[in-house]
Structure 1
């Protein structure tokens, strides 16, 4: 297990994730994650020159997609 993944497992109290951490949680690539952010599908916030994803945003995105799938 790499260090970043270990930190994520050890510290579930993280409030903000990097785009890479959010992509790992969604099991998608970093480029796809940035595309979801750009399209407004995945919530993110700027902090200075950094882009961070609220820790609950990946789960919210998945829940919304599941709801959309059921409605279709």
Structure 2
């Protein structure tokens, strides 16, 4: 297991399914050719239609914030390398 993952804080109880949804959305994200693209509302809409999953507004906000954090972290790691 990567150290960054091993040192990550524990996921709050009840958010496991939402984290899995984010991981699936993230795994299917496109690329700009220079790096990963953000997860768009169109991506989320397609995911909800395919999986028949409905997100509450707070869940959408959580996914968007997780995506922002992912892209910020990716950018910081690329900048260091």
The TM-score with structure 1 as length reference comes to: 0.30
Q: Rg larger in 1 or in 2?
A: 2
Could you say which structure has the higher helix fraction?
A: 2
The TM-score with structure 2 as length reference comes to: 0.28
Could you say which structure has the higher strand fraction?
A: 1
